């Protein structure tokens, strides 16, 4: 079945630093890809998604591009803020369900 591998954390950055969180996937065909974010004490919420190869998803300054040649969907942000501290999950759509990665905790200090 479909699976996702994402970099382990925590990722610790200073405010205004550049962020990359790596995500690679294994899948049959070209499924939709997602990034979800979980803020402390809350459930997950959709951050961005891409539905086909070369699509770029973007939201709140975060971006990720669906790369079929490298089977990757890396999350990037040019300048992180303290409020971006959260756990980020990469996910791939499977048959009738989503498969999540293990999550990457981001800690941003002032």
Partner 1 sequence: NAGVTQTPKFQVLKTGQSMTLQCAQDMNHNSMYWYRQDPGMGLRLIYYSASEGTTDKGEVPNGYNVSRLNKREFSLRLESAAPSQTSVYFCASSGSGGPSRELFFGEGSRLTVL
Shortest CB 46 distance to partner 1, Å: 5
Nearer to partner 1, 31 or 77 (CB): 31
Nearer to partner 1, 43 or 110 (CB): 43
Query: Are the CB atoms for 47 and 58 separated by under 8 Å?
Result: no
For partner 1, the binding residues (CB under 8 A) are 31-32, 36, 41-46, 49, 51, 89, 93-94, 96-103
101 is written with which tokens?
A: 């990665």
Nearer to partner 1, 32 or 71 (CB): 32
Nearer to partner 1, 95 or 110 (CB): 95
Shortest CB 25 distance to partner 1, Å: 14
Shortest CB 103 distance to partner 1, Å: 5
Query: Are the CB atoms for 33 and 92 separated by under 8 Å?
Result: yes
Beta strand residue intervals within the chain, DSSP E: 3-6, 11-14, 19-21, 23-26, 33-38, 44-50, 56-59, 62-65, 75-77, 86-93, 98-100, 104-109
């Amino acid at each position: 079945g479909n699976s996702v591998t994402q970099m382990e954390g925590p990722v610790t950055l200073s405010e205004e630093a550049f962020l990359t969180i790596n995500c690679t996937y294994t899948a049959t065909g070209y499924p939709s890809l997602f990034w979800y974010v979980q803020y402390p004490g809350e459930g997950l919420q959709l951050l961005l998604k891409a539905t086909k190869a070369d699509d770029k998803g973007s939201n709140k300054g975060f971006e990720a591009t669906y790369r079929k040649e490298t089977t990757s969907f890396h999350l990037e942000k040019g300048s992180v803020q303290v409020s971006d501290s959260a756990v980020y999950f990469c996910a791939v759509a499977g048959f009738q369900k989503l498969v999540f990665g293990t999550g990457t905790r981001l800690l941003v200090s002032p």
